[in-house]
Amino acid sequence: MFLKSLSGRFLLLTIIFVMLAEVLIFVPSVARFRVDYLQTRLDSSQIASLALLASPNDMVTPELEAELLRNADVLNVALQRDSIRELMLSTPMKAPIAQTFDLRGASAWVLIRDALQVLWNNNDRVIRVRGEPVNGAGHLIEAALYEKPLRNAMIDYGVNIFNLSLFISVVTGALLFVAVRWFLVLPISRLVRQIHEFEVAPEDARKIIQPQAGVTELFEAETAIHSMQTQLSQSLKQKGRLADLGAAVSKISHDLRNILTTTQLLADRMEMSDDPAVQKTAPKLISSLSRAVNLCDSTLRFGKAEETAPNLTKFAMRPLLAEVVEGECLSVGDTNVQISSTVEGAISMRADREQLYRIVSNIVRNAWQVLSARKQSGEIVVMGAETPENWTISITDNGPGLPKKALDHLFTPFEGGARKGGSGLGLAISAELVKGHGGTIQLTASGPEGSTFLITLPKDVA
């Protein structure tokens, strides 16, 4: 999981790249070490040969010769002065010379190749090395030596270089990790956190990112996001206000349409009047009412808005329910749907009379519209009652019951319509108005034998 993060991948890549750079340095370094190693042996061999030249008759005892060769760490030494090559010092060798290496004028690629060959070859061969004597002491100096000590010295040097490279890589990677995390990862994490906070509450202006990054690219990103969030927040607020306004207009339109429909029916009857003035005015009135009803229908596409708090007044329940029944009977017209109301006793209640009228009329209207669409006789009964704690109003019909879609979204606007073309606002408005009274509205029965809605208003709100 760590390697999937920006910090982890940056740390890993840093170590890899530093090690790669060290490897590129390692090979030339080992090749340079081999040249220095061999050149040191040649220099020591030259000093040993000078001791021989300084002796009488250019002769030394075998013991001194062996000591000189041992100190120079070679097997024999040959020196060419003028045109004569002379073996200066020698000792018996276990094997013949396997290969000769000439350090004079060798290119870098040749030295690297020879170094890799030494590392690859694990045999203790005898090799010969040629070079130029220092201080013009001759034209050529040669020395024979065993290769294994050279290989071991090169390996030890390589291990030291590797350990040093690894240490440098770790330290460099750690420092870069801290720097990247401080200057890049933490600002990015803060930016992501602020974006998530804005996602939770995009309307809250306090959640808008304020550019403050020290890195130019991050500051530009924060600036762009700040501009986007500001525009988005303003757009959401504007759309929210428009949605609320549209929802309010939808609700008003829904109930206003019902009122206008009833008025339209009354205007239709005015056409039967014998009064010439009435006959002349009635068509214009009907046309205007039709346009108003159509306008109300067109506004029903808007969403939901909060209703105002109920204005509680004391009134009798029986006249209210009778008024609802009378108004809906006018809307029903000559269909085979019968609407009636009954109240158990003289019940006086305290509520918002206008809102309660809308609640009951919405449910009654939904019921008779479904019954009328079936073109069969139907009956709707509105019954009022009271208990010591509540006032109740039930609306019962003998219709076919509510479909599954309406049951699943019973009080959801625009989704709980029980008939084709219905907006589903009637029950949604009724539920909201009942809730404003502190009461409840529920579907207590729905099936082939009919449906029953029960409205319960508590008396303790009075």
3 state SS of 308: coil
Mark whether 231 and 349 lie in a shared domain. Answer: no
Residue 208 in any domain: the answer is: no
Q: Cβ(411)–Cβ(427) under 8 Å?
A: yes
3 state SS of 83: coil
Residue 274 in any domain: the answer is: yes
Whole-angstrom distance, CA of residue 211 vs CA of residue 227: 10
Residue 367 in any domain: the answer is: yes
Region 16-20: what's the mean pLDDT?
76
Residue 406 in any domain: the answer is: yes
Domain that holds residue 447: 309-461
| Burial readout 193-223 (b: 16 or more C-beta within 10 A, e: otherwise) | ebeeebeeebeeeebbbeeebeeeebeebbe
Mark whether 143 and 112 lie in a shared domain. Answer: yes
Which residue is listed with tokens 């100096």? 141
**Ordered strands of the 126-131 beta sheet:** 84-90, 76-81, 140-146, 126-131, 97-102
Mark whether 251 and 282 lie in a shared domain. Answer: yes
Among 84-88, 115-119, 229-233, 420-424, the range scoring the smallest mean pLDDT is 420-424
Which residue is listed with tokens 């010969």? 128
First to last CA, the chain: 63
Report whether pLDDT(104) > 50. yes
Last-in-domain residue among 171, 189, 205: 171
Per-residue model confidence as pLDDT tens digits over 331-360: 777 678 889 999 988 899 999 998 899 899
Mean pLDDT of the chain: 78
Mark whether 143 and 39 lie in a shared domain. Answer: yes
Region 44-69: what's the mean pLDDT?
75
Strands 126-131 and 97-102: parallel
If pLDDT is split at 50, 70 and 90, which confidence band does 193 have? confident
Report whether pLDDT(298) > 50. no
pLDDT of residue 371: 85
Mark whether 91 and 162 lie in a shared domain. Answer: yes
Q: Give the tokens for residue 444.
A: 């207590």
If pLDDT is split at 50, 70 and 90, which confidence band does 71 have? confident
Contacts of 368 (CB under 8 A, 6+ apart): 328, 331, 332, 335, 337, 339, 378, 380, 397
Residue 100 in any domain: the answer is: yes
Residue 211 in any domain: the answer is: no
Mark whether 95 and 152 lie in a shared domain. Answer: yes
Whole-angstrom distance, CA of residue 61 vs CA of residue 76: 15
Among 180-184, 451-455, 457-461, the range scoring the smallest mean pLDDT is 180-184
User: Which helix (H) or strand (E) is 278 found in, with range?
Assistant: helix 276-298
Instruction: Give the angle subtended at the CA of 455 by the CAs of 449 and 460, to the nearest 5°.
Output: 155
Report whether pLDDT(182) > 50. yes
C-alpha 154, offset from chain centre: 54
User: Which helix (H) or strand (E) is 395 found in, with range?
Assistant: strand 390-397
Region 134-152: what's the mean pLDDT?
84
Q: How many residues does the chain have?
A: 462
Mark whether 403 and 261 lie in a shared domain. Answer: no
Among 109-113, 151-155, 191-195, the range scoring the smallest mean pLDDT is 191-195
If pLDDT is split at 50, 70 and 90, which confidence band does 416 have? very low
Mark whether 57 and 92 lie in a shared domain. Answer: yes
Angle, helices 216-270/317-332, rounded to nearest 10 degrees? 80
Residue 409 in any domain: the answer is: yes
pLDDT of residue 305: 46
Last-in-domain residue among 299, 328, 348: 299
Angle, helices 353-373/216-270, rounded to nearest 10 degrees? 80
The domain total for the chain is 3
If pLDDT is split at 50, 70 and 90, which confidence band does 391 have? very high
Whole-angstrom distance, CA of residue 18 vs CA of residue 176: 12
Contacts of 138 (CB under 8 A, 6+ apart): 79, 80, 81
Q: Give the tokens for residue 378.
A: 């139907």
Q: Cβ(119)–Cβ(154) under 8 Å?
A: yes
Whole-angstrom distance, CA of residue 450 vs CA of residue 96: 117
Percent of the chain predicted with pLDDT > 90: 13
Region 310-323: what's the mean pLDDT?
91
Mark whether 257 and 166 lie in a shared domain. Answer: no
Q: Between 138 and 58, whose confidence is greater?
A: 138
CATH of the domain at 323: 3.30.565.10
Mark whether 229 and 279 lie in a shared domain. Answer: yes
Whole-angstrom distance, CA of residue 306 vs CA of residue 304: 7
Mark whether 282 and 229 lie in a shared domain. Answer: yes
Residue 304 in any domain: the answer is: no
Per-residue model confidence as pLDDT tens digits over 210-239: 777 776 777 787 788 888 878 777 777 767
Longest dimension (CA), the chain: 165
CA 247 vs CA 60, 202, 304: distances in Å: 119, 21, 4
Mark whether 158 and 22 lie in a shared domain. Answer: yes
If pLDDT is split at 50, 70 and 90, which confidence band does 304 have? very low
Look up residue 184 and give its amino acid.
L
Q: Give the tokens for residue 248.
A: 């309010």
Last-in-domain residue among 171, 193, 226: 171
